[in-house]
A and B are shown apart, each in its own frame.
Chain A
Amino acid sequence: MNTPDHLQGHLPADHRLSPRWQFRHLPLIGRMLADYPAQDLWQTDFARLPRALARQRQRARAFTEQHILSAADELDLAPHLQAGECHPTARRILSEAGKQGWLSYFLPAPLGKMPWGTVVHAPIWQSCLIVEEFSRGCGGLMLLLSAHHLGAMPLILSGRVQHILKLLAPVYRSCERGDPQLIAFAITEPAAGSDVEDGHGAQTYHPGVVATPTKGGYLLNGRKCFISGGDLAKTATVFAALQGEGMESWTCFYVDCSDPGYRVARTELKMGMRASGAAEIELSDVFVPTDRVIGGLRNGWVLNRATLNASRIPVASMGVGFARAATETAVEFAQHYKVGGKALIHYQDVQLHLATMVAETRALRALVWQEARLAWKPRQLHASLCKFHATDRAQRVCEMAMDLLADHGARHENRIEKIFRDVRLTRIFEGTNQINRLSLIEDWQPQLLDPDHPAGV
């Protein structure tokens, strides 16, 4: 098949009026200032990354292409599994991901698999790069591999070396051996979604999971819901109030999911991200020894908020991954689908549509990288802003892809309908995008309330 040398409505690159041709024929200094290689856009951003992070991004892409993309369809369409069951394909991918270090990349060797070259960069940035690649392949598998890091985050953010050495390092080692020991993050309760993510709401909330002191530890009772990966997790960071106290007493407990009294009551029938289960967990007198109180008593609320600040930028990166998948799907469709005897890509309105999509996607990536790059201590305002904006706009990009595919947009085999179902969750979890907007304002208060200095933006 002959490849055309230009799209309709545009000049070929070797035309005398093409800037590309002109640049190549400028004198040396002119070429140095104006000529550029027309690289693939992914490669362009790849080249802008520090080398160690670029390598991680490349590895994540390779893992996605080898393991995730090929399994996405199968896991999305598989029958709903009972709590505790794991699809063999998901199990295989989890094991392989563990061996390759995708379940232990928040700590460097010998504790984890974070490449030493990346330790000089904010770990959130590395996480964003990986999450984008995995999301591009399959939202469900991305979540299966990423929710574990959310569960582990309170152990790291507690700042207690013994938690990291005694609790997290063995989990990481097991994952690297190919025996994944997933950790779930359990904050949401049936009566509290936003209330466990927003201080204003939390102050009036009557906690649903309560820890009662007992000899040598605590007994946990209550229910948690919508716990990503909670159905397969071996351990969980569970947040509970102390008996007789309010949300100020919230404490993080590291719970062994095989302990008596811990039961996965059900897993949800989700719209998308189906390769990852969302579990409802029932806790009935689950004993947690004192040495598994993470970060100290009554420090759960701050650990929760710090964890959300750390996780919301990677959630924004999920949006980037979905927007990218949608854009790539739309481009491929436009390159191949013919209307009136020519591929859609030759029509000007289609070119405008794709240009908007790619601009949106790259603007989101720029936003995420800008905030992630310096997210050693991720600020709530930045994290929330990234999360709600990137995911709202990412859904818009997915809708644009669907619109471009038109009559063919609803067909599962064209991928975009699944991408839409996956991206839709990112506007709800890790705090709805409404709560994230309020979270931005909460953190901005010192400037907003300062009568002497106008708030800078």
Chain B
Amino acid sequence: MHLDTEDSQRLLEELGRFSRERIAHLAARPHRPIDGRQLALLTGEALDMGILPPSTAESGFGIWEHCDTAPAMAFNTGALRHIAGASPGVAFTWHRLALARWVAVQLGQSLGADDLTGLQLVPTGHYGLARGSLARWLRGGALETADQAMLSDWLDRRTHTTTLYAPEDWKLLLWPVWAGVHVTWQLVDRQALSVRAEKAQHGFDELAGFSVNLAGEGSAIAMAPEISRTLFTRLFKLDMLGLMAIGAGALDQGQTLARAYAAIRRQGGSAIAAHPAVQHMLSDIEIARQRIDMALTALAQPVDTLDTGAVAAARANIAPALCHAANQVMQVHGGIGYMRDAGPEKLVRDQNMLKLASGGTRDLHAFLAGWTGACA
């Protein structure tokens, strides 16, 4: 099955309606975030609509089901952007859920609808991106001992605590582990893990935070080194693209809020939109939007033709701009923007969450150094 540009557009329009009418409706009061029950309800609706793939056996046009054409990739990021325009937390949940299903399919795992809705994905290690070692492994060729040791430590699920943001009632976890010379995957039941619920987290109020360790040995899904590298490379790119798309949706929401407020709030005898100080901030937001638009357009390519370094560089470039834009949305609002019932402050926190997810963005510099040939 293939998705052409026209199909993609029609699906996105439908998804836009769903996001506005269902998700945005539930997310309308930012200080009362979508709770676990509502999120489960929305996820059920998304499964029914085909926004999320129903099982590993069935095929449709859900998010991340197709990654082999430019229109399909534009649909994936467009869909996440629409959803994030209503709720970045919901978009993050579905992004990870859809990616988990995608990985499960690649691994030949058979999961039904019940398994899928309780499935969580951790795409990276316990901290950062294993400095340059991950990049060197992804590039191929023989790995130095130091890189192997670094990757082994990065994906050591017993010694190190992995941070997870997920719905309260998740049941299964899919995560990569290091198998000597390459990555393999573990599909672990929650019961087999040592899980500690966090008291609170910075953003994604719709979700809960967990610290997770592997309690026992855990069994890995066997796979050939080359397949392992290809799978991880694709996943790594898709995850970064998804995070950027969600950030774009959060930016869209913030831009709408800032423009609307600037048009009605009066200071100095006129609407604040007339003041250059505010215009400058609105322009900062617009510049960030143009940057993310350009990035997502340029990166709407079949996943295998995308350069991993280009995606990583785009994330490193875009994430601070998105955070800055969210801060400018808050600043345009002044005091009201700081309040939890207004909206901008949640967007600031959610953009921070996106920046910190999947190893954060600081280690992307080390990753890029490794990707472009730097040694350990």
Question: A residues bordering B, Cβ < 8 Å?
Answer: 73, 77, 188, 191-195, 198, 200-201, 203-205, 225-226, 268-271, 278, 337-341, 347, 349, 353, 395, 399, 402-413, 417, 420-421, 424-425, 427-429, 432-435, 437-438
Instruction: Please tell me if the beta carbons of B331 and A402 are within 8 angstroms of each other in the complex.
Output: no
Instruction: Please tell me if the beta carbons of B267 and A339 are within 8 angstroms of each other in the complex.
Output: no
Binds A, one of B83-91, B245-253, B339-347: B339-347
Question: B residues bordering A, Cβ < 8 Å?
Answer: 31, 124, 126-128, 130-131, 133, 146, 149-150, 153-154, 162-163, 165, 198-203, 209, 211, 266-269, 277-278, 281, 323, 327, 330-331, 334-335, 337-341, 345, 348-349, 352-353, 355-363, 365-366
11 contacts between A and B (CB under 8 A): A188-B335, A193-B267, A201-B268, A269-B341, A270-B339, A341-B153, A347-B131, A405-B360, A412-B209, A417-B202, A435-B277
Instruction: Please tell me if the beta carbons of A432 and B199 are within 8 angstroms of each other in the complex.
Output: no
A30–B331 Cα distance when bound, in Å, is 53
Instruction: Please tell me if the beta carbons of A417 and B201 are within 8 angstroms of each other in the complex.
Output: yes
Instruction: Please tell me if the beta carbons of A411 and B126 are within 8 angstroms of each other in the complex.
Output: no
Instruction: Please tell me if the beta carbons of A428 and B356 are within 8 angstroms of each other in the complex.
Output: no
User: Inside 8 A of B358's CB, which chain A residues have their CB?
Assistant: 407
Instruction: Please tell me if the beta carbons of A192 and B362 are within 8 angstroms of each other in the complex.
Output: no
Instruction: Please tell me if the beta carbons of B267 and A195 are within 8 angstroms of each other in the complex.
Output: yes
Closest to A76 in B: B200
Contact residue among B153, B198, B339 (Cβ-Cβ distance under 8 Å from A412) = B198
Instruction: Please tell me if the beta carbons of B199 and A406 are within 8 angstroms of each other in the complex.
Output: no
Top 5 A-B pairs, shortest CB-CB distance = A406-B360, A204-B269, A417-B202, A201-B268, A410-B202
Instruction: Please tell me if the beta carbons of A402 and B334 are within 8 angstroms of each other in the complex.
Output: no
Instruction: Please tell me if the beta carbons of B268 and A403 are within 8 angstroms of each other in the complex.
Output: no
Contact residue among B126, B201, B362 (Cβ-Cβ distance under 8 Å from A410) = B201
Instruction: Please tell me if the beta carbons of A406 and B356 are within 8 angstroms of each other in the complex.
Output: yes
User: Inside 8 A of A402's CB, which chain B residues have their CB?
Assistant: 352, 355-356
A395–B324 Cα distance when bound, in Å, is 11
Instruction: Please tell me if the beta carbons of A428 and B267 are within 8 angstroms of each other in the complex.
Output: no
User: Inside 8 A of A226's CB, which chain B residues have their CB?
Assistant: 335
Output the least CB separation between B194 and chain A (Å).
16
Contact residue among B126, B198, B338 (Cβ-Cβ distance under 8 Å from A407) = B126
Output the least CB separation between B272 and chain A (Å).
8
Instruction: Please tell me if the beta carbons of B149 and A341 are within 8 angstroms of each other in the complex.
Output: yes
Instruction: Please tell me if the beta carbons of A411 and B360 are within 8 angstroms of each other in the complex.
Output: no
Given known A270-B339, A341-B149, A438-B277, contact A406–B331 (CB-CB < 8 A): no
User: Inside 8 A of B359's CB, which chain A residues have their CB?
Assistant: 406-407
Instruction: Please tell me if the beta carbons of A428 and B365 are within 8 angstroms of each other in the complex.
Output: no
Instruction: Please tell me if the beta carbons of A349 and B365 are within 8 angstroms of each other in the complex.
Output: yes
Contact residue among A337, A347, A428, A433 (Cβ-Cβ distance under 8 Å from B335) = A428
Given known A406-B356, A407-B359, A420-B352, contact A270–B338 (CB-CB < 8 A): yes
Closest to B277 in A: A434
Closest to B200 in A: A412
Given known A408-B127, A420-B352, A427-B331, contact A340–B340 (CB-CB < 8 A): no
User: Inside 8 A of A408's CB, which chain B residues have their CB?
Assistant: 127, 163
Instruction: Please tell me if the beta carbons of B131 and A412 are within 8 angstroms of each other in the complex.
Output: no
Contact residue among A347, A409, A428 (Cβ-Cβ distance under 8 Å from B334) = A428
Instruction: Please tell me if the beta carbons of A411 and B339 are within 8 angstroms of each other in the complex.
Output: no
Contact residue among A195, A269, A412 (Cβ-Cβ distance under 8 Å from B268) = A195
